[in-house]
Chains A and B, each alone.
Chain A
């Protein structure tokens, strides 16, 4: 069973004792989480600790920063991983007193900490010293209070300003090189893939600076999940994080974390169904990503977008047969899935096989229309370049990382579900540009199709009396007090992780979502500064962000 604690592989992992020796006197306490050893450090020694862990122990991936408030203290947790072996994890826990919640920023070590710490400041109220730009990120700047803190009053009135857009002709001095122009893109704009606001500073046609203003879809997902019970009430929400039909992939993130937290087994049959469903979702998500990318690059609302939606419709029909819903599936349950495959099974398998049979031809069409298209190549090859080192420092994952030549895929590197029993590859392109990211997505569709085919073969031959869709799960799940866990799965956009702290009740005390899009979107300025505006749009399209997941 691959959902159990994965055994150490041939790659040498750093043991807790080695880290303890490395950090030496920096460690003031130990606070072990279910997934990784945790080392408590003083708030003024965060950078020293992280520098040592990154440079001497090789923890080059800051996957998540969690902040939370206890009765007697605030706490920031840095979840560190290695891109080479994501099962090699360590957590750095930084407690700060309630009356003076100031902690050293990790931004000089990992660039990705910039946004993560701004979010921690915004929602929980921990302040970070040395942070380059500590402002609110998700909530409006005039917001009063920190909503995930303990003493927040939700009924307090709030005032949100609507400033006039800055005058585009007014001189500003954000760049020294001549006159620049300030241009707002969004939050209502066809090319921003939702409600994203880009504040761009232009020098002629070139982008001098771009700042993403997010938070226009901050739906309080973490608070909502903290109000729900583990067993049933949380599962519908993951569908709505990455809503581009990646529902089952997101549900798996929650299922994985809750199952590991409460020590629940999943029957093998259910694992195969989950794997098949998740890969169908991945195809649907990538289809829309490719369609809208083409829409962004050459405004092709007619052909390519329609082709992509046509194929998505087929996938959605299959998923609807399977789950009973078109977009918000709510199909996983802790310990399995909610119901078995639809009857008659032959018809259902035929539906999938028909889709898979048509897929190579459809992909050929995409390659003719998109990747072989001269215009698209001119627009995307060598634009939006994201070197692997930069991508790692920003914690980029998923197709964005794989388009930069980083061979990182949690389905293979930190196996769960049925993936390690199946035969498939991780597509990696080393072009680091918009074109590579597009190619990675198209090739991932092929790989997903391979996985689905193998799953269908398995399911067809599954003996009828062994079709257990759910294991025995207690009606109310109450994990022990102060158990903490961080688990991630490979969503359509990258590493989708969840941190949960239990407090002995049937609801989580802290539920933190690490969304891949949040980290990926941070790389946008690196990709587009100095490029032309249309390349900025193409870069944004190639990141394939979903604002529901960026803002949560």
Chain B
């Protein structure tokens, strides 16, 4: 036995003190504990920081993703969660089945008019603070389907998006990069405030009267939430 290993103690009463002392040791920190974090702390194992900064770091380090599949991109998203790419390595990974347990929504696919209000509802159900990763060209702009009569020209028409990951679909590596960037920004307190809201769900009776509204007035209850798509003016 080498001299270093003799310091290891099995007596339980001594473990609490001697083992720990041995690990920290007079000769400095055990190799296993020489993390970047520890280096940053220096000789003193205390940190002084603002509570907000600390919380930002915490948020960025444990992201809970909403398990949310729309179209082609969701296949690559599943690959990102699964073996080989394993998003959980970055502390951003176990998909949650309920929006109420999640703080990141990855929007993987084409948003069409029938689905947009539902997606907005799911987004609204997530607790604050919440973040959105737009995955793929369809989520950014409607992508290859942009000229379709039914396709929303980007998720940003409905919910605010923090990070756009381009591609059709983006490779899992690209999504990992996007999520890592999001984490970095959250940890630095850079996440963008909610700004873009061109379309809101509103009550049917609040809409401006026009031909379409008049026509639908008999079919739709005044209190129904509706989404109005002005295709001519959308980007």
Contacts and interface: CB of A to CB of B under 8 A. Distances in A.
Interface of A: 138-142, 144, 147, 152, 154-164, 187-188, 190, 193-195, 215-221, 223-224, 227, 236-237, 240, 243-245, 288, 305-306, 309-310, 312-313, 326-328, 547-548
10 contacts: A140-B114, A156-B212, A158-B228, A158-B229, A159-B226, A160-B226, A162-B227, A218-B150, A221-B145, A243-B71
- Chain B, interface size category, equals 35 or more
B201 to A, nearest CB: 6
A190 B84 CA distance: 22
A229 to B, nearest CB: 14
B70 A217 contact: yes
Interface of B: 67-72, 74-76, 78-79, 82-84, 97, 99, 109-110, 112-122, 144-145, 147-151, 168-169, 171, 201, 204, 207, 210, 212-213, 215-216, 219-220, 224-232
A309 to B, nearest CB: 4
A159 B229 contact: yes
B113 A158 contact: yes
Given A159-B229, A160-B226, A217-B71, A147 B110 contact: no
Given A157-B210, A162-B227, A219-B151, A313 B83 contact: yes
A161 B169 contact: no
B59 to A, nearest CB: 24
B224 A309 contact: no
Contacts of B216: 142, 159
A288 B75 CA distance: 9
A187 B118 contact: yes
B144 A237 contact: yes
Interface centre among A138, A218, A223, A244 (most CB of B within 10 A): A218
A224 B150 CA distance: 11
Contact of A144 (B169, B171, B212, B228): B212
B79 to A, nearest CB: 6
B84 A313 contact: yes
Q: Specify which of A147, A164, A195 lies most central, judged by the most chain B CB atoms within 10 Å of its CB.
A: A195
A507 to B, nearest CB: 13
A416 B68 CA distance: 38
A293 to B, nearest CB: 14
Ranked 3 nearest A-B pairs via Cβ: A220-B148, A243-B72, A162-B117
B212 A157 contact: yes
B171 A326 contact: yes
A219 B79 contact: no
A313 B86 CA distance: 13
Contact of A152 (B118, B120, B145, B149): B149
